[in-house]
A = this chain, B = another copy of it.
Amino acid sequence: MRRRVGIVGVGMSKFGKRDDVSVRELSWEAIMEALQDAGITQKDVDLVVAGSTAYRGVELYPAPPVSEYSSLTGKTPIRVEAACATGSAAAFTAINSIASGMVDVVLAVGFDKMTEVDTQTSLAIGGRGGNYEWEFHMYGTTFPAYYALYATRHMAVYGTTEEDMALASVKAHKYASMNEKAHLRNRVTVEDVLKSRVISWPIKLLDSSPISDGAAAVIFASEEKIRELNVDTPVWVEGIGYGSDTSSIARRGEWTSLRAARDAANMAYSQSKRSPRDVEYATVHDCFTIAEIMAYEDLGFAERGRGATLLREGQTEKGGKVAVNLFGGLKAKGHPLGATGLSMMYEVTKQLREEAGPVQQQFKNYVALTHNVGGTGHYAYVSILSR
């Protein structure tokens, strides 16, 4: 029943502290690359879906000015938001607009310029992505503290260690050092991570993703249009699942796994008739190192409680059973909220097309996945892509 939808172009700005550009220029970096990659121009685009959260400088309603700057005026009737999963929410909206038969070519663009506010304001905006009125406002629980609660619980129940978490950071920085667009390109050791400043124990500075500026864009098209455009290597959207959950971590009932992410994964596996064993490459939402370990388990790459084993055994490195985050992950590639989910699709598309250079994973079945979480598990999206 659903029309088949594929990715025909991807673009991504340099992530980092981007004082050199406005949010419009930043978005154009990604949009321009995606258009060139697809070999189309703005006139071929039917609809633009913008994804952005709350870091927009003066632009409270950023969709029209951003699209206007990119000569896409008239095509952008909508902005979407799902906190840190905003980019995937934009993809979800774009994909459904095509699958429904309404339009044929949709550009999803995600952007946030998080460094336009100081770190304290950023934490306050971030805290509102948690449970604002009670947990943030009354207890001062910021994002590192929320993830510290997950980490301590995972340590207590499953014996996961600080060293295990540090391995995720070491891996992220190693691959980011090979990615010219990554925010943090320095390599770090387990010792560096363990010795870094404690933010909210056991989360340390080097367990945490940075505050980044960035934009990413993905152009989706219907199968008919893909044939018409004669696209060399379309990347097919086999499924995109969603989940959400209570905003209150106190009400979750479990603190070692995210229900929203499991729901999203189950929906995506079901839509695509794939299982975790089919996945050869994945981008996962490692906003903190513990989140990568939880993601392995929520996605079914490892049994509950055994996520750290994959890291210890190197199974999620390049060449491993399922390579994860070979562009550096949120941890080191950066995490500009609105862009992250679409930057994951950029990465997976490059991998599936075998355009990933030094970090190219070898595929047999060419099946890959994106896993994008918003809030502390309020929102989640999982997509399955293949070629």
Contacts and interface: CB of A to CB of B under 8 A. Distances in A.
A53 B77 CA distance: 14
Interface residues of A, number: 63
Interface stretch (A143-151, A161-169, A372-380): A372-380
A44 B3 CA distance: 25
A246 B64 contact: yes
Contacts of A271: 102
Given A74-B243, A77-B381, A61 B96 contact: no
A346 interface: no
Contacts of A101: 1-2, 99
Nearest to A137: B58
How many copies of this chain does one complex carry? 2
A301 interface: no
Contact of A58 (B63, B128, B260, B380): B128
Interface string A367-387: 000000011001111000000
A354 interface: no
A244 B73 contact: yes
A16 to B, nearest CB: 24
B82 A81 contact: no
Contacts of A68: 246-248
A74 B2 contact: no
Contact of A2 (B102, B242, B246, B263): B102
A67 interface: yes
Interface in A37-82: 47, 53-54, 58-61, 63-65, 67-68, 73-82
Nearest to A132: B58
Contacts of A65: 131-132, 247
Contact of A77 (B73, B82, B133, B137): B82
23 contacts: A3-B100, A53-B61, A58-B132, A61-B83, A61-B374, A61-B375, A61-B378, A63-B378, A63-B379, A64-B246, A68-B246, A74-B243, A74-B260, A74-B263, A77-B92, A77-B374, A78-B80, A78-B93, A81-B81, A93-B96, A96-B97, A96-B99, A98-B100
Closest 8 pairs between A and B when the two form their complex, measured CB to CB: A99-B100, A60-B128, A1-B101, A77-B242, A2-B101, A100-B100, A64-B378, A96-B96
Interface of A: 1-3, 47, 53-54, 58-61, 63-65, 67-68, 73-83, 85, 89, 92-93, 95-102, 125, 128-129, 131-133, 137, 242-248, 259-260, 263-264, 271, 374-375, 378-381
